[in-house]
Structure 1
Amino acid sequence: MFGVVSAPQQTSTGDLVLPLIAGVTAVAVAVYASVRRRLRARTRTTPGGASPTVVPLDELDRRAQHSLIETDDCIRASREELRCATEQLADEAIRACTEAVEFAAAELTQAFGARQRFDDGAGEARVLLTEILGRCGAAGRRLDAEAPGWDQLRALERTAGEALAHAEARSREVAARIPESAATTAGLRERYALPAYLPVVGHDEQAKERLAFATTVLGRARQAMDAGRTDDAVALLRAGEAAVEQAAVLLDGIARLAADLATATDALPGALTGIETALTRARGLLGTQTARAIAHGEPVMAEVRGAHGPRDPVGALRRIEQVALGLDRALHQVPGGSEALARLERALLVARGAVGATADYVTTHRGAVGCEARTRLAEAERRLRAAENTDAPPVPAPADALADAREADSLARQARQSAERDVRAHGTPYGEGDWAGGAVLGGILLDAPHRTADRPGHPGDGGPASYGGPGTRGRRDGGELFRPRPPQSPLPDETKAS
Structure 2
Amino acid sequence: MDLLAGASLAVGTLVVLVVALGIVGFVVLFRRRGDRSVTGGGLAELNRTAGTLLVRLDDDVRDAEAEVGFALAQFGTESAQPFVAALNRARADLAEAFRLRQALDDAIPDTPREQREWTLQIIALCERAERELGEQERTFRRRRSEEGSAASTLEGIRRSIREQQSRLGGAHALADEVHTRYATRAAAGIRQLVDRADSLLRDAEHTTDAAAATISQSRVTAVAPDLAEAARQVRDAAERLDAVERRAAELAEARAALEERRASAAADVDEARAEVDRAPEPESARAILEAIDAVLAVAPSDPADPVDDLERLGDALARLDLALAASRNEADRRAHARAAYEGTLVSARSQISVARELVANGRVGVDARTRLAEAERQLVIAQAETDPVEALDAIRRAVTHARDADALARYNTMG
TM-score above 0.5, yes or no: yes
Evaluate the alpha carbon distance shift between residue 221 and residue 327 of structure 1 in structure 2; reply closer, same or farther with a 3 A threshold: same
Q: Which residue of 1 aligns with 2:64?
A: 78
Q: Indicate whether 1:66 and 2:56 are aligned.
A: no
Paired with 1:188 and 1:53, the residues of 2 have a C-alpha distance of 53
What's the secondary structure of 1:380's corresponding residue? helix
CA distance in 2, matches of 1:326, 1:234: 58
> Aligned ranges for residues 8-407 of structure 1 at < 5 Å?
45=35, 53-120=39-106, 122=108, 123=110, 124-151=114-141, 157-198=147-188, 200-225=190-215, 229-284=219-274, 285=276, 286=279, 287-292=282-287, 294-298=289-293, 300-305=295-300, 310-332=303-325, 336-365=333-362, 368-389=363-384, 395-407=385-397
Aligned-partner residue type, residue 312 of structure 2:
R
Give the corresponding residue for 1:416.
Answer: 406
| Cα pair distance change 1:297/1:216, threshold 3 Å | farther
Kept after mapping to 2: 8 A contact 1:190/1:310:
no
Deviations 1:400-447 (A, max 9, x none): 111211221221222122223357x79xxxxxxxxxxxxxxxxxxxxx
Task: For CA contacts below 8 A with separation 6 or more, give which structure has more relative contact order.
Answer: 1
Change beyond 3 A, Cα 1:421–1:218 = farther
Structure 1 residue 331 displacement after superposition:
2.4
Pairwise CA distance, 1:298 = 2.9
Which structure 2 segments of 5+ residues have no match?
A: 1-30
Seen in structure 2, the aligned counterparts of structure 1 residues 363 and 52 have a Cα distance that, compared at 3 Å, is: closer
Q: Give deviations 1:358-392, integer Å, cap 9, x for gaps.
A: 22332233xx2221121111111101111111xxx
**What is the CA-CA distance between 1:270 and the residue it aligns to?**
2.1
Q: Please tell me whether the aligned partners of residues 214 and 243 of structure 1 are also in contact (alpha carbons under 8 angstroms).
A: yes
1:274-299 deviations in whole A, cap 9, x for unaligned? 11221222223244355345435535
- Which has more helix, going by share of residues? 2
Aligned to 1:17: none
What secondary structure is seen at the aligned counterpart in 1 of 2:405? helix
**Distance (Å, rounded) in 1 between the aligned partners of 2:285 and 2:240:** 44
Report if aligned partners of 1:249, 1:360 keep a CA contact under 8 Å in 2.
no
Alpha-carbon shift at residue 398 of structure 1 (Å): 0.8
Inter-CA distance 162–297: structure 2 relative to 1 (3 Å threshold): farther
Change (3 A) 1:396 1:52: closer
In the alignment, the residues of structure 2 paired with residue 78 and residue 45 of structure 1 have an alpha-carbon distance, to the nearest angstrom, of 29
Q: Output the CA distance in 2 between the equivalents of 1:53 and 1:260.
A: 46
Q: Which amino acid aligns with 1:143?
A: L
Distance in 1 between the 2:368 and 2:390 partners? 25
Q: For residue 5 of structure 2, what is the aligned residue in structure 1?
A: none
What secondary structure is seen at the aligned counterpart in 2 of 1:217?
Answer: helix
> Is contact 1:380–1:409 with CA below 8 Å preserved after alignment?
yes
Q: Give me the identity figure in percent.
A: 29
Deviation of the 1:96 alpha carbon? 2.1
Does structure 2 conserve the Cα–Cα contact (< 8 Å) formed by 1:321 and 1:347? yes
Partner SS state of residue 78, structure 2: coil
Counterpart-to-counterpart distance in 2, 1:45 and 1:152:
32
Change (3 A) 1:417 1:211: farther
Displacement of 1:221 in angstroms is: 2.2
The amino acid that maps onto 1:350 is S
Deviating above 4 A after TM superposition, structure 1's stretches of 4 or more consecutive aligned residues are 41-46, 151-157, 226-229
Aligned residues: 372
Alpha-carbon distance in 2 for matches of 1:199, 1:297? 35
CA distance in 2, matches of 1:373, 1:146: 28
Shift of 1:65: 1.0
Mapped to 2, the partners of 1:318 and 1:43 lie a distance apart of 49
Please state how far the C-alpha of 1:247 moved relative to its aligned partner. Answer: 1.2
RMSD: 2.9
The alpha carbon displacement at 1:121 in A equals 5.5
Q: Is the 8 A contact 1:293 1:323 kept in 2?
A: no
Structure 1: gaps spanning 5 or more residues: 1-40, 390-394, 427-498
TM-score (norm 1): 0.68
Deviations 1:213-252 (A, max 9, x none): 2222222222343696433422122122112111111111
Identify the residue that residue 22 of structure 2 maps to in structure 1: none
* 1:67–1:204 distance in 2 versus 1, CA, 3 Å: same
Return the letter of the residue paired with 2:245: A
Cα shift at 1:117: 1.2
Q: Work out whether residues 378 and 394 of structure 2, in 8 Å CA contact, stay in contact via their aligned partners in 1.
A: yes
